[in-house]
Every structure is written in structure tokens, then in C-alpha cells.
Structure 1
Amino acid sequence: MLADQLISRIETIHSKGYIHRDVKPENFLIGMGKSANIIYLIDFGLSKKYRDSRNNQHIPYRENKSLIGTARYATVNSHLGMEQSRRDDIESIGYLLVYFLKGSLPWQGIKATDKQDKYNKIMEKKLSTSSEILCKGLPIEFSIYMSYSRNLKFEEKPDYLYLRKMFKELFVRRNFEWNYMYDWCYPSDNIDLDDISKNNNDQKFDKTYVKKNTDGEIKFKLTINTQGMYEERESKTNNNLLDQRDEFNQHEQMINSDYQKNEENISEEKLQNNYNNDQNNTNSNQNSQQKENSSNNKDTGSMIAQQENVKNDAF
């Protein structure tokens, strides 16, 4: 589900004619409250237009460019000094996903004498690390994603729907529920509270918690009415669940609509191509037949002329 939103956010930026050029964990934020299941993309300081809005022309391919972005998630082509395009944002998302799943990337912790030396060593490590090695231990879809992104051409538009659908099918195949309910959507207070006492008097719903430091010393105590807290949280949770379920259904409908439109467009395109091919074949056959008839007529005329000449010679 996370991969789906990351790809979707980048697709939105690309649809506006821009590339981000600095995809990294720090530039993706999680919403709060009802938006706790929504991923936000920030920091467009290094963004650049990849298409001229006046004539819709793609920026030209260039080399000998300086590395732009964060080296850890930068693409191989960016390290090699190539102009960045949509393919680079897509490849960087791949490194981001591998980092989330494995906790580190093969080129982390490289020792170097200076910044440029570090960039060079990171580049060498990336060049020598295949998609299969990078994604070892992960589902094959991640290796496919990396290979796909690394093989995109400079001006080529990434197939966002294909990539999102691939991860969605993997998610469902693992028997997870595609509901955009992440682990952090309904966390507890998450302050590592230990229950040390309960009142058995009239305040039976009062509960005392403490937070301890690493040495086990009590830092503070907190007494709350757990019954009231539970009822309030239960009410909010139910309402939020309904709201987020509605948001998910709307999002799911949009995705399915996109898939359907894409498939319809592909089908229409295939039909049109088949029709055009049939027309071209028909026209080609007609032209060939006309040429053949013309050639036969010329041959016939030539034979008649020869016969006339023979007759004249005879006389």
C-alpha cells in the first residue's frame, strides 16, 4: 500500500510537467488524524520542469551534469552525469522501498576521503549491484521494479499503472487486506507505559501508569479514567474507520476506473491498429494488382506491336 501511494504521488508531479529529483524518506510525510493513512510529498527545492509547457517538448538529453539529490537514493544515470527525467524519480522510489524493507542499502557506510570520493564509491557500488542482488530476500516484484526502472529510456513515460498493479497483486497474494489502514493509523499512546496499580475503591476505573527510564527509575506517574478514555477512543475510532473506509472505497474506484480506461484505450488502440493494418494490406494488394495489370497491359501491347512489325516486314 505504501508503494502504491509513493508511485501515485510521483505520477501526479510528473503529470504537471515536473520531476522531483530528491526522492528520499525525509521528503515523504504521514498525515494526522483522519489523514493518518495518506502520504504527502514535500520539498520541491530541486524539482525541475522536464517538459516545455509551450510546445510540450521534452527537455534534451545532456551529459556531464553534477549529481543532484541525495547520493544514497540517487540513480545510476544521475551518478554518471546524465540529465534526470521521469525514470530517475521512479528508480529512486525503488531504492526507497528496498531501504524500508531491509533497513539499509549496500552502499551505506562507505568510507571516503572527501565528498566527491564518496560519491564515486557509491556510484561504483551501485553499478556493480544488480537488481537481483539488491532485492535478494524480497519478493520478485521488487527486482522486476528495479530492472524496469533502470531500463527506461530518457524520454519514456513510466507505466505507473503497471507498477502499482504489480504491488497490489503481490499485497493481495500475501493475504493482506488492501484497506489503506497502516500500522500507525491507530497507535496506542506509545510512551511505553507500565501498569503498576489499580484502585479497587469507588474510583475503580482510575488507572495509574508510569514511564521509566533505561535504569528502571520512574520518571512520572499518570492517573487517568480508563473507562471514559476507552469510550471516547472507541467512538472516535469507529467514526474514523467509517471515514477512512469511504476514502478507501473512493480511491479504489478511481484506481479501478484508471485500469479500465487504460485497458479500454489499449483495446481501442489495438482495434484501430488492426483496422489500419487491414486497410494498408488492402491498399497494398490493390496497388500490387494495379501494377501487375499495368505490366500485363504493357506486355500485351508490346507483343501486338511486335506482331505488327513482323507483318510489315513480311510485306
Structure 2
Amino acid sequence: MDTYQPLRTAVATVFALVVLAAIAGGIVVYFGLYNVAATHEHANVLYHLLHTVMRRSVGARADDIPVPNLDSPHRLDNGFVLFREHCVQCHGAPGVSPRAFAFGLRPAPPDLVPPAKDWPPSHLYWVIKYGVKMTAMPAWEYQVSEQELWDLTAFIKRLPTLSPADYRQWNTRLPPTGNTAVANALPSSRIGNVMAGRRAIDEYLCATCHQIPGVVGGDSTVGPPLAGIGTRKYIGGTLSNSPENMLRWLRDPQQVKPDSAMPNLHIREQDARDIAAYLYTLNQTSPQ
């Protein structure tokens, strides 16, 4: 008697199910059966699967992050200003509705009171800093400073204690100044870091206009391909190619060439140094 027959049968059954699932998934993808319109909510199973994946992923990466003191009045005030400028448009606030565009996002941006109650500060900080794929939650790592990331975290943790009247008092006490620009300067002493530049390429949406070797989605032809950019004679057809000029171009191309289609992305100085360091590694022949 073959004592391994039940095991072989079980393995064969599992394999057949996997193959069938792959075929079914392929049919759904190929024939466009899944409706990706934002006017249709996610299937319930998919929604809960994505949410579970997100929570487990954040926990695995954020559990050991040390948390600074979040009770400083100055930190909370600055966190409120940042929240009003960058967060309330999608998430709303006590007594404040999100902006109209947020109603069309899928998955819908959550009210932040429940996660502020239930999530550890390090988890909130991680999501604010790195964002979440397949949602509209952006990564703020390249837009605000490390201190400001924690300021935002501190204020969000305070949200469950605020009534609509409390939020209005904060808004009255800290009126908008009219200066809505995000801080974009960091100390310039650190040399460019290639790996940080590769990440920054994603964050500043470079792949939406350029072909970039090794970057997912980097196949756009709006701007010139970036392969081999380090060996070209000129940058933007105007500046001689040097690290200093690359920084000038990345920081404010419109100042260098006013009719350039490349906009000023308000790239922070250190991010520009990192991106330049990465670009100079793309020294292979440009794709045809």
C-alpha cells in the first residue's frame, strides 16, 4: 500500500486549484472584467484584503521606531498648521468636510479619528512619511522635514480629543499666513546618495515624463529619455553638463530656460543632490 498516496493527492489538488485560480485571474485581467472605475467601490473581499496587507506591512516596519515627545505645545501647533494645509482636504476634521475631489477617491480617505485612537504613533508616522500604494495617500518624506512628520503625528494623535468647537478655536488662534509653500531646504553639506536619489525619482514623478532605465512605469516620451544623461554634453540643451549645473537645472529649470516644458518641482536641495547622483549612474546608451 502506498502510504504517500493521500499526500500526493492533496498536493495535486492544491496545485490544480492554484492553476485554476491563475487561469481565472488571467481571464479577469485579459478581458477587463474587473471594473476599475472610482465610481464603483472595491469588492468587499478585496477591500479587507488590502486593508489587512496594509496594517500588517506598516506594523512590520514601524513597531520599533522610537517615538519622541509628542506633547510639546509648539509641536502640536505646528502639527495643526501642517494638518490644515495638507491633510484636511482629503480626510476632513472635526466639523470640517473634505474637499469635493476626496469624495471620488477609492478607497475613500478615512476619517483619522479611529486610527488616531487605535494606532501607535510610530504607525501613523510611518504612513505619513512613506504613504500607501494603491491609495491616494502620498509619501510626505520629500515634502516636509523629519520634525514636521512628527509634528503631524502629534496633532493627529490629538484629534480624538477635539470637538468641532475646539478645532475652530485652533483655526482662529493660528490663522493661515498666506505662505503655503512647503519647506524645501535642507543642509547642503551631505553629498548626493544614489539610493536616496532613486527613491526621490519616484516621489517627484520623474517617470511620468521621462524614460528611466529600471524605474517601473518609466516609459513616457513627454521629456527626453534619461539613460545616458551623465555623458551628454548639455543639460536641457542649454547648460554644460556638470554636477553643479545639474543641481541648478533640477532645482529651477524655468530660471535656466524659461520656455522649458519641465516645471519647477520645488525639489529640496538635498533631494536634488541625491537625484543628480542617481542620474549620473545612468550612463548606458539611451533607448531608441
TM-score bin, normalised by smaller chain: under 0.3
Higher strand share: 1
Task: Name which one, 1 or 2, has greater alpha-carbon Rg.
Answer: 1
Higher relative contact order at CA 8 Å, sep ≥6: structure 1 or structure 2?
A: 2
User: What is the TM-score with the length of structure 1 in the denominator?
Assistant: 0.22
Q: TM-score, normalised by structure 2?
A: 0.23
